[in-house]
Structure 1
Amino acid sequence: MDHSMDNLKSLSPFELKDVLIKTAEGSAAVSRPANTSMLNAGRGNPNFLATVPRYGFFQLGLFAMRESERSFAYLPEGVGGFPKREQIEERFEIFARDNKNVDGISFLRGAVSFVRDQLGLDASDFLYEMCEGILGSNYPVPDRMLSLSEEIVAHYIRHEMIGEHPYIDEFDLFAVEGGTAAMTYIFNSLRANYLLEHGDTIALGAPIFTPYLEIPHMSDYQFKVVNINADKNLKWQYPKEELDKLRDPKVKAFFLVNPANPASVKLDNESLAYISSIVAERPDLIILTDDVYGTFADQFVSIFATCPKNTILVYSYSKYFGATGWRLGVIGIHRDNILDAQIAKLDEQKRTALHARYASIAPEPSSLKFIDRLVADSRSVALNHTAGLSTPQQVQMVLFSLFALMDTADSYKTVLKRLIRHRKRALYRAIGIGFGDAEDDINSVDYYAILDLELLGERIHGRKFADWLITHADMTALLMRLAHEAHVVLLPGRGFGIQHPSGRVSLANLNEADYKRIGKAVRALIEEYVEQFNKETADKPLSKWKIVK
């Protein structure tokens, strides 16, 4: 290993991951005994995916091709045209009947019925939008999101992010290329519209997905950062004294991931209520909530539901539907929001600058909503006429949404929860800690697990060993050893803002037997530390493995 530890510690966890992968792959290739394939639990890309809406997508594509061919049927050279709306529902019924035993057809028929009978939308308009969209034969119009697609996705967002929480008013959606694009666009537009400026103070709910830690310090932004630190002893909830930092009027915005990454727990009801009480006192506070893991939680309620006028919602379809390659996400903003209100209150110099920025795309730039400014800014304003997520992507997003809405028994969700929780159980049992000892609770999502050296040391051998362990174990070196000797890749907790030695394990991208192997590898390393502890202390030697209750 040619890398110095100091250089490795300065890397982002996702850049360190690449080093660990090369180390694990190289050592696995050299040793080549059985069961030495590299196990990468460092990235959250799931190894499961939703098949039904994908079958539906491909069958819809075939129907759309038939519709296209009707326009230029007299040309033999493979020329098609735009689909026609007239009698498209009748033609779809014929297509579905002729292919009734083909995978995906039953789902599509159900989707058309659901859209018509449950959502109250016109089935022909829906089919026409889907066919034109899946063919990719036109620019996205409206550019923010296709009209019926936005309505359907909004139903899905209400179902998954708001649930039974009272929420009467409407919100707008902007379809984007996944959660990462959403982050990029939001940071950029907040700055471009003077809602956040160089030197402003923002708060981050820590620990948090690494880019949220890195972006504020880039030269484009140069924000001052206040961490709102979750407490591992409170099962990764935010203590009230930490949330009270949001009362400071210098804090312009609060960014959080909920459920958390890597802590993998949702905000509890008490925290949601407490943040709402702070927002009532500070109606100018901007909140950005990244809720990609909300669909894995039980009875999830987003802060977008409890503080709607202050909150920008980011949701990605990548994890729940196994669709990271599709790049599907949405930004949601309440139609009556503080962002538009704050822009309207800017001083004359800033309002004049914004008038000039958006004058080419709106006759009254001052009335342009923030979410539409997001759309324009995503294409540097001048290219606003070509803005918008590709229409085939929007169609797949709609089919994913309908699949979840039609699954009234939550069968798909139940299976995924059981799958990842069985993996967590396998991991901790292999380490030597029972599942209950892994701090499972009603707010746990379990998409990730944090292997906390202090917690492991105390549970296995007691407080004295834990204190010794956290002063003697270098987590980066330990991760490198796991990669080199066991061919296992984990990410350092430090890179997500965790202040104590730990590693993040994704529970989504490997199989149960793989997590057993990871657990055994972690256990073997800790046993080595036990031997070292026994040599360095005069106390009664610890046994190699003894679970402390």
Structure 2
Amino acid sequence: MKKPIDYAQYANLSPFELKDNLIKLAQSHTDRIMLNAGRGNPNFLATWPRQAFFQLGLFAIEESEMSYSYLNEGVGGFPIRTGLTGRFEAFIRRNYNTPGVSFLGKAFSYIRDQLGLDENAFLQEMVEGILGCNYPVPDRMLHFSEEVIKSYVLQQMGAQGLKTDELDLFATEGGTAAMTYVFNSMKENGLINKGDKIAIGAPIFTPYLEIPSLNDYQLVEVLINADPQLEWQYPESELRKLEDPSIKAFFLVNPSNPPSVKIDDKSLQLIADIVKKRPDLIILTDDVYGTFADNFQSLFAICPKNTILVYSFSKYFGATGWRLGVIGLAHDNVIDKSISALPSKTKQILNKRYSSIVTEPDKLKFIDRLVADSRAVALNHTAGLSTPQQVQMVLFALCEMMDADQSYKSTLKNLIRRRDAALYQRLGSSKKRDINSVEYYTLIDLETICHELYGDDFAKWILTNKNPTELLFRIADEAGVVLLPGKGFAVQHPSARASLANLNEYQYAAIGSSLRKLAEEYYAEYTSKHKKK
């Protein structure tokens, strides 16, 4: 007889740690396939920029071998700059029909004709970068890589009103590294201190809830709760909490995780109005899912002086293993102003901290402090994202910017929406599509689904008699389906998060059928008990 599971032991686990226990249970049956809709690792990826990456690598190796062609021990050198562009163009013509090569030729043209960059210097940076034969210089981000990604970020974040020379980027090891660096540098530079209040837009990616409570920070969290009855928008009363002058910063994910809904225009404007009253408010917006949205506009576009932008290439390009992200900050920002206004004693401590890397540490910008802090300051000279990673990031960005018909984006959006429809159709729900939803994830609301299927009394019985964690373990054990608890993302109602990115359409239909079967079994239990009464 199977030993009953003590669900209380999992009460404090992060959803991503609970996931491992659910996977173990789902895999315990060898006669079926596990359907893991937990972690949001996409099962799609962009092929053209990857083809281009490997072809560029082959060209770069040829160039490297020219430097020591008299040797036969597999020794190469730095590419010879003289005539590099001519040899590259010959390589393109010679191999034009090879997958990835024509993309490189078009990208080279786009750099010159649309972005107005020096194509010769750009090519040199890309060739040396893909070889990884130099330290990243500048350490914050390679020069032309930053210029390309600036154009991409402004386009994708709906911030075309800003100029590329009005912001700086720091290339990081994905969005998670960006989060870690921002939290750490805000603490080190006296922007947040023990006991300070920070606002968090909920529901949200769990680390934003977990990091502030760590002993490293000990911050007081004020949740700004989105309302499912308002299609997961923030009510005005919740956003008005930001008017509290004791709140130092507002952290949010937009589009949200897990509701996968972008902030609507009304709420964006309200936040902008609040910032006018609170010009000292620091905003961190994590916009990794913004690329999936129609007509997306980031808070970075609305309140650039107050906003730290975090963006990752991981989800849209299927590049979680590449670890590619950026932190963006406008030249004119309140963060630098806040540091300059710190008490003189604090500034003296900070000046000592950064005195080994600049002669005037009090003038060091926050984004450069981020770079230094990412390597404990003393290793600032070896900071920076690896150069091959930066090259792949550039090729991803160029792929999207050159896609005039938005065919890649349309394909991904249709793919995800079909999966969403398949799940809910089999579940028996009449879920309606929200124009602000990107549907990368879906929140399966326990009360709403039970009400739709069997009425209000059954929904109330479920909430009273069944532990939501128990439901997750049961669906994992009986059907091999792995979902994450909404509670861990600060969802106020019992729910489960399913990623719509990492399985195929028929598998989401199977998840819907499994959930419907579980609901039917609970309804049979409910009717049986009520008949006895």
What is the TM-score of this pair, normalised by structure 1? 0.95
Is the aligned partner of 1:375 residue 2:403?
no
Aligned to 1:208: 204
Q: What does the per-residue CA deviation read over 1:400-435, in whole Å, with 9 as the maximum and x for residues that have no partner?
A: 0000000011000000000000000000011012xx
Aligned to 1:16: 18
Aligned to 1:94: 90
- The count of corresponding residues between Structure 1 and Structure 2 is 530
Is the aligned partner of 1:241 residue 2:234?
no
- Which amino acid in the other structure matches residue 363 of structure 2? S
SS of 1:21 mapped into structure 2: helix
Q: CA deviation at 1:2?
A: 6.8
Q: CA deviation at 1:348?
A: 0.8
Aligned to 2:78: 82
Aligned to 1:475: 468
Q: CA deviation at 1:277?
A: 0.4
- The counterpart of 2:483, out of the listed 490, 508, 513, is 490
- The counterpart of 1:448, out of the listed 438, 441, 445, is 441
Aligned to 2:505: 512
Check conservation: 2:178, 2:325, Cα contact below 8 A. yes
Aligned to 1:547: none
Aligned residues with identical type, % of pairs: 61
- The counterpart of 2:68, out of the listed 69, 72, 78, is 72
Check conservation: 1:163, 1:300, Cα contact below 8 A. no
Check conservation: 1:163, 1:299, Cα contact below 8 A. no
Distance in structure 1 (CA, Å) of the matches to 2:507 and 2:484: 16
Aligned to 2:8: 6
Distance in structure 2 (CA, Å) of the matches to 1:99 and 1:524: 55
Q: Map residues 129-528 of structure 1 onto 2, 5 A cutoff.
A: 129-162=125-158, 166-168=161-163, 170-433=166-429, 437-528=430-521
SS of 2:321 mapped into structure 1: helix
- Which amino acid in the other structure matches residue 377 of structure 2? V
Q: What does the per-residue CA deviation read over 1:79-118, in whole Å, with 9 as the maximum and x for residues that have no partner?
A: 1111122221110011111111110001000000000010
- Which amino acid in the other structure matches residue 485 of structure 1? E
Distance in structure 2 (CA, Å) of the matches to 1:405 and 1:238: 31
Check conservation: 1:313, 1:331, Cα contact below 8 A. yes
- Which amino acid in the other structure matches residue 237 of structure 1? Q
Aligned to 1:543: none
Q: CA deviation at 1:484?
A: 0.5
Question: Which stretch of the first structure deviates more once superposed, 265-274 or 472-481?
Answer: 472-481
SS of 1:26 mapped into structure 2: coil
SS of 1:142 mapped into structure 2: coil
Q: CA deviation at 1:538?
A: 5.5
Question: Which stretch of the first structure deviates more once superposed, 360-369 or 92-101?
Answer: 92-101
Is the aligned partner of 1:532 residue 2:532?
no
SS of 2:212 mapped into structure 1: helix
Q: CA deviation at 1:6?
A: 0.4
Distance in structure 2 (CA, Å) of the matches to 1:352 and 1:304: 31
- Which amino acid in the other structure matches residue 6 of structure 1? A
Q: CA deviation at 1:537?
A: 2.9
Distance change >3 Å, CA 191–CA 25, structure 1 → 2? same
Aligned to 1:120: 116
Q: What does the per-residue CA deviation read over 1:228-286, in whole Å, with 9 as the maximum and x for residues that have no partner?
A: 00001001000000000000001000000000000110000001000000000000000
Aligned to 2:43: 47
Aligned to 1:546: none
Distance in structure 2 (CA, Å) of the matches to 1:481 and 1:205: 31
Distance in structure 2 (CA, Å) of the matches to 1:428 and 1:85: 58
SS of 1:449 mapped into structure 2: strand
Q: CA deviation at 1:3?
A: 4.7
Could you tell me which runs of 5 or more consecutive residues in structure 2 were left unpaired when the two chains were aligned: none
Distance in structure 1 (CA, Å) of the matches to 2:45 and 2:479: 28
Question: Which stretch of the first structure deviates more once superposed, 312-321 or 439-448?
Answer: 439-448
Distance in structure 1 (CA, Å) of the matches to 2:186 and 2:71: 51
Q: What does the per-residue CA deviation read over 1:141-164, in whole Å, with 9 as the maximum and x for residues that have no partner?
A: 000000000000001001101255
- Which amino acid in the other structure matches residue 420 of structure 1? I
Distance in structure 2 (CA, Å) of the matches to 1:208 and 1:487: 26
Check conservation: 2:159, 2:300, Cα contact below 8 A. no
CA root-mean-square deviation: 1.2
Distance change >3 Å, CA 155–CA 193, structure 1 → 2? same
Check conservation: 1:189, 1:373, Cα contact below 8 A. yes
Q: What does the per-residue CA deviation read over 1:418-454, in whole Å, with 9 as the maximum and x for residues that have no partner?
A: 0000000000011012xxx323111001000111011
- Which amino acid in the other structure matches residue 26 of structure 1? S
Q: What does the per-residue CA deviation read over 1:294-334, in whole Å, with 9 as the maximum and x for residues that have no partner?
A: 01111100001001000000000000000000000000001
Distance in structure 1 (CA, Å) of the matches to 2:249 and 2:495: 28
Q: CA deviation at 1:349?
A: 0.5
What is the TM-score of this pair, normalised by structure 2? 0.98
Aligned to 1:26: 28
SS of 1:537 mapped into structure 2: helix
Check conservation: 2:158, 2:295, Cα contact below 8 A. no
Check conservation: 2:259, 2:441, Cα contact below 8 A. yes
Check conservation: 2:484, 2:498, Cα contact below 8 A. yes
Q: CA deviation at 1:343?
A: 0.4
SS of 1:173 mapped into structure 2: strand
Check conservation: 1:235, 1:439, Cα contact below 8 A. no
Q: CA deviation at 1:468?
A: 2.0
- Which amino acid in the other structure matches residue 498 of structure 1? V
Q: CA deviation at 1:461?
A: 2.1
